[in-house]
Amino acid sequence: MVGGVGVALTLFMCVLGGQARNLLRVNSTSGNPPSIPTVHCWCASYPNRTFCSWPEPSQSPPLNYIATYSEKHRQEVKHQCHLIQPGSSSSFLAPASSSEQLWHCYLPNLKLLTDYIINVTAVYSGASSSHLASFMLEDIVKPDPPVNVWVSPQDNRNLQVEWSPPPTWAYMEIFPLKYQVLYQWENRGTPVSVNLGPFENTKIEMKGLTPGRTYRFQVCAKELLGLGECSNWSSPFNITVPHF
């Protein structure tokens, strides 16, 4: 485009299976449309710890972001998200698990069983781009990973695996969690993995393992009634089954 001719792009995507429904918009007064924020939303503790995040472009970052949210059927009543810059320490968020530069916004006090729309707009000089996502809180529940995974030998060929719930999950008595355990090993150079569960306890006993073999254990957490999805896998714990 030349001569200050504007550019407008609208793309609608409806994704089934509980995923957010996205509406992407670009408005530009220059020849190069700006990049669109790629926004991901999740509820780290049902029902009151909901976040959205998007990566900061490595080249030509925007001047600033504007993030608002509203109920789908009351879009005229908009609320400002609490913006958290990349690298900022925050009591809202669990420690970052990657080095990617992510912006976050915190959406407090969302209602249950209510459709919401979030609008994240990247503002550039002479241009802007927006990502709109529609979601229901119950569809985006995703706890933070369990912590303190520990594996200890019990007797010949048996191990005990234990862990703690994610400390950011606030209402364990009202909304308990269930867990899956992933353990992996190599058999003659071939990787093998087994996913066990779900379990409601925070410890299990593994029986009949091979002495001298090294196993890798990880745990994920999910809301007990199946809302949303399982957390990311915890940090791994490796152990070699001893010869007694």
Pick 24 or 64 by higher pLDDT.
64
Distance CA 84, CA 93 (A): 10
- In angstroms, the CA 230 to CA 220 distance is 6
Compute CA distances 26 → 37, 125, 220, whole Å.
10, 13, 37
Q: How far apart are CA 80 and CA 25, in angstroms?
A: 19
Of 210, 199, 221, 207, nearest to 160 by C-alpha is 207
What pLDDT band is residue 11 in, cutting at 50, 70 and 90?
A: very low
Q: Which of 23-27, 83-87, 142-146 has the highest mean pLDDT?
A: 142-146
Rounded Cα distance between 39 and 103, Å, is: 9
What pTM was computed for the model?
Answer: 0.80
Tokens at residue 61, please? 């970052």
178-195 confidence digits (pLDDT tens): 999 999 999 888 999 999
CB-based contacts of 27, cutoff 8 Å, min separation 6:
6, 7, 8, 127, 128, 129, 130
In order of their start, the domains of the chain are: 7-139 (2.60.40.10), 147-240 (2.60.40.10)
Give the closest residue to 41 by CA, choosing from 128, 138, 121, 148.
138
pLDDT of residue 91: 60
